[in-house]
Amino acid sequence: MFHLSFYGSVLFRGLLLLILLQISCITGGESPLSAKRSPEIPPTVTQGKVFLAGHTGEHSKDTEEILKLVQRLVSGTISKDLNFLPEIVSKKDGIYLDIKGNWTREQLIQELSSADNYFRIYFFDRELLEKQKNSKEVRTVRDLLLSSGGVEVDFYYESKNACELKLKFKENQKLERELINPYFIKQDGKWYLFRLF
């Protein structure tokens, strides 16, 4: 009797181990908690309202073009790759960055090529930002976008060639205030990023 129950116990343990291994394979070896923490999929970016200040005109194509640029910026931030920025920044006007002020396109290219550049610190790498700010209570732009639950973009056309955006988070709305309103300018029929979030 002892002999049979021992083998039954071994068989039961073997089946239990097999079931646990299958569950582990299905979930990729991750616990449910780590699976919830690691979705690094860019949030959806959708068009919100469009406002025209002191002028009239058809802006649907402009809005579509700017929205694609914003989607590219959000996606690049999540994937930690903004090396494409110079191609969407005007040679004439450059780009305005919160802490750095105005940069020429050439200064932007130079900054992107340095190891611990502005974007790595403020956009991607929380540990570097913690050191920079000497605080654990910091969030990178990437952290903010990942916590947004999706972004809705309102367009404020100041003129036919200038548009400020307001990014609205679908979740954690209080965090959207930590971003700056992006600003786009139109030159020679093409929209360029002037101020980044």
DSSP state letters, 39-67: --PPPPEEEEEEEESS-----HHHHHHHH
Confidence at residue 70, expressed as pLDDT on a 0 to 100 scale: 98
Say which residues have a Cβ less than 8 Å from residue 69's Cβ, sequence separation at least 6: 88, 184, 191, 193
Q: Please give the average pLDDT of every successive group of 10 residues along the chain, which has 197 residues.
A: 50 47 42 42 96 83 97 97 97 90 95 94 95 95 97 96 97 96 97 96
Query: So what's the pLDDT on residue 98?
Result: 82
Class for the domain spanning 42-195: alpha beta
pTM higher than 0.75: yes
pLDDT given at position 13: 52
What was the pLDDT predicted at 39?
A: 61
Token code pair at residue 131:
């050191």
Listed by start position, the domains of the chain span 42-195
* Residues whose CB falls within 8 Å of the CB of residue 52, separated by 6 or more in sequence, listed in order: 59, 157
